[in-house]
Amino acid sequence: MARSNQPLTISCTDFKSVARALTVVENELAASDELLKNLRFTKSTPIIGITGPPGAGKSTLVNSLIAQLVNKGNKVAVLAIDPTSPFNFGSLLGDRIRMANHFNSPDVFIRSLATRGSLGGLSAKTIEMTDVLRAAGFDYVLIETVGVGQSEIEIAGLADLTFVVLVPESGDEIQNIKSGLMEIADAFIINKADRDDADLFANNLKKIIHQKETTETPVFKTIATTNQGIDEVVQFILSAQNIKNTRKEYLLAEKAYKLIQQKRMTGIDKKKLRQDLAEALNDKGFNLYNFVNLY
């Protein structure tokens, strides 16, 4: 491992260096702060956020997008965010097997990351690890979130381009669109578009978008298992590089907020917190708010 006064060299041509750097940052090892402060970004790497409810086929969709981007000569990194169990603090999903055919590719780097208890599904670690991947020189970094809680909204604080993935049965998500998703989606993807009512769902979605916006957000229909519609999504990603990011200040403010939040929470061990809480519960006069104030 590189010493703190000699920053670790990270390159997308050396996956071991990328993996080591991510491990240092994720586990907050001694060299972590120095490594992050010495990151250098030599190219503009688009961060593509992909979010949506569980079961929408996001991993299969990401798998198809990787294949298309690599075929065009790009090096791609994927950070797959899995929810964390509140009981054992481990990852719950583990469905990265759907990207297994890319594991040995010299042009694809895949890393899973648990949310570490973040209620919104994202953590400051996600931001830091994404920046490590950017500094490594990948052409694209794809962030897949599980789409629970507020992670759909939070991904806008990290990604340059955000896709919200839905399926034809996503009737409830239409209500969510009215309450926030519209503001962060650069495009919607209706996956599994071979299912019944896919066209009806797409039309209803377009009507909602038209009511809320003067410029219409694209709605793509895909069948990721057969690569149908993936070309159109990839072309949108490629063309979006020429579109000026008008949310840069907002995105950076969201990133800064998460990082400051993490720094101020340093020293709070969640497992120890649970143990202390279990002990405090033995007191008949237990009051959660007094417990928090004294912690």
Mind spelling out the 3-state secondary structure of the chain?
CCCCCCCCCCECCEHHHHHHHHHHHHCCCCCHHHHHHCCCCCCCCCEEEEECCCCCCHHHHHHHHHHHHHHCCCCEEEEEEECECCCCCCECCCCHHHHHHHCCCCCEEEEEEECCCCCCCCCHHHHHHHHHHHHCCCCEEEEECCCCCCHHHHHHHCCCEEEEEECCCCHHHHHHHHHHHHHHCCEEEECCCCCCCHHHHHHHHHHHHHHHCCCCCCEEECEHHHCECHHHHHHHHHHHCCCCCCCHHHHHHHHHHHHHHHHHCCCCCHHHHHHHHHHHCCCCCCCHHHHHHHC
Which of the four pLDDT bands, split at 50, 70 and 90, describes residue 212? low
pLDDT surpassing 50 at residue 88: no
Q: Has residue 95 got a pLDDT over 80? A: no
Of 61, 185, 77, 66, residue with least CA distance to 131: 77
Question: Residue 62 CB: number of other CB atoms within 10 A?
Answer: 26
More confident residue, 71 or 208: 71
Mean pLDDT of 59-73: 94
Burial of 89 (0-12, 13-18, 19+ CB in 10 A): middle
Average pLDDT of the residues in 59-63: 92
Give the residue-averaged pLDDT of 219-236: 96
CA angle (52, 89, 79) in 5-degree steps: 45
Please give the average per-residue pLDDT across 34-45, as a whole number.
Answer: 89
Query: How do residues 179-210 score in pLDDT, each as one tens digit?
Result: 566 677 889 999 999 998 899 989 888 888 87
Angle, CA 69 vertex, CA 192 and CA 45 arms, to 5°? 115
| Residue 216 confidence (pLDDT) | 76
pLDDT of residue 191: 95
CB 144 within 8 Å of CB 59: yes
Model pLDDT for residues 28-38, shown as the tens digit of each residue: 888 888 999 89
196 in Cβ contact with 168 (< 8 Å): yes
**Encoding tokens for residue 124?**
């400051």
pLDDT at 92: 45
pLDDT of 102 reads 79
The whole-number average pLDDT for the span 223-236 is 96
Which of 105-109, 149-153, 188-192 is predicted with the least confidence, judged by mean pLDDT? 149-153
Q: Could you tell me the residue ranges of all domains in the chain?
A: 43-257, 265-295
Rounded to the nearest integer, the mean pLDDT of the chain is 81
> Average pLDDT of 254-265?
80
Contacts of 197 (CB under 8 A, 6+ apart): 168, 169
Out of 3.40.50.2020, 1.20.1250.20, 3.40.50.300, 1.10.287.1260, which CATH number does the structure's domain 43-257 have?
A: 3.40.50.300
Residue with tokens 């309450």: 179
Arithmetic mean of pLDDT, 265-290: 87
Answer yes or no: is pLDDT of 136 > 60: yes
Separation between Cα atoms, residue 55 and residue 197, nearest integer Å: 17
Choose the weakest-confidence range: 191-200, 240-249, 262-271.
Answer: 240-249
Rg (alpha carbons) of the chain, rounded to whole number: 20
For Cα atoms 264, 32, 134, give the angle at the middle one, nearest 5 degrees: 100
Question: Mean pLDDT over residues 139-155, rounded?
Answer: 73
Q: Work out the pLDDT band at 254, boundaries 50, 70, 90.
A: confident
**Do 91 and 108 contact (CB within 8 A), yes or no?**
no
